[in-house]
Amino acid sequence: KISAVIFDLDGVIVSTDEFHYQAWKQISDQEKMYFNREINERLRGVSRMESLEIILSHSDKNYSEKDKQLLAQRKNEVYCALLNKLSPNDILPGVINLLLSLKARDIKIAIGSSSKNTPFILEQIGLAFSFNAIADGNSITNSKPDPEVFLLAAEKLGVAPEECVVIEDAQAGIDAAIAAGMKAVGVGTAASCVNAQLTLKDLSNLNIDQLIEVNEIRS
């Protein structure tokens, strides 16, 4: 039985992943830290401070805790300026149709995102009131691959984890879903992820029967 679908935000609902890259790139260039798209791939689904630690692990720079906080804050200012340009046109293919057909079948929908900017992003794309529950970076202490964000979403929805399917673009997110006792569908770059029950280019061809099948797979 499937009672709910939990959507990751960045890379699943909207491509803010490119904005994260641009913002980190700008800060890295200013600080003369090494950063490229390959390193950026490892930041998917990972919290802001952990992302900074990953970037720093590729450079010989040393920063105090306070300076790290300031760097992360600067990155977020650049990132939020980019988010100002977001509109409903940026919602990724297939998302709206899938949300509508889940609603029509009385299957609950939630957001499970590491991002502290989740409320702002949802507002920008016109989906602030579309979900039954939102679990995000503001309400958790451990970010993906820890299952906390998805378990919180299930709790807010009042459904058992086994009745939830997660849609993710990141390995950290797929690992988090599995650790939560949920099944995972990988989209976009997650095509290369391991352990997802199903991988797809985007959501335009995903139907509910496939989601039900995914949830029935025994691991």
Select 45 or 147, whichever has its Cβ closest to Mg ion: 45
Q: Are 46 and 143 in contact (CB under 8 A)?
A: yes
**170 with 190: CB under 8 angstroms?**
yes
Binding residues vs Mg ion (CB under 5 A): 8, 10-11, 45, 169-170
Residue type, 80: C
State which H helix or E strand residue 134 sits in.
strand 133-135
Q: Which is nearer to Mg ion, 143 or 215 (CB)?
A: 143
Q: How far is the CB of 205 from ligand G16 (least distance, A)?
A: 22
Taking the complex as a whole, how short is the minimal distance between the CB of residue 192 and ligand G16, in angstroms?
Answer: 16
Q: Which does 46 bind (CB under 5 to 8 A by kind): ligand G16, Mg ion, none?
A: ligand G16
Min dist. Cβ of residue 1 to ligand G16 (A): 26
Question: Three-state SS for 10?
Answer: strand
Of the candidates 27, 21, 209, 204, the one whose C-alpha atom is nearest the C-alpha of residue 98 is 204
Alpha carbons 211 and 216: distance in angstroms, whole number? 9
Q: How far is the CB of 216 from ligand G16 (least distance, A)?
A: 26
What span, in angstroms and rounded, lies between the C-alpha atoms of 191 and 184? 12
Residue 134 partner contact from Mg ion, ligand G16, none using kind-dependent CB cut-offs of 5 to 8 Å: none
Annotated catalytic residues are: 8, 10
User: Can you tell me which residue has the tokens 């990155």?
Assistant: 75
Nearest approach in angstroms of CB 9 to ligand G16 is 4
The pair phi, psi for residue 60, each rounded to 5°, is -100, 15
Judged by beta carbon, residue 74 or residue 213, the one nearer ligand G16 is 74
CA distance 89 to 124: 10
Nearer to ligand G16, 76 or 101 (CB): 76
20 binds, among Mg ion, ligand G16, none (CB under 5 to 8 A by kind): ligand G16
Q: Which residues bind ligand G16 (CB under 6 A)?
A: 8-11, 20, 43-48, 51, 76, 113-117, 137, 170, 173
CB atoms within 10 A of CB 107: 20
Q: Which is nearer to ligand G16, 4 or 170 (CB)?
A: 170
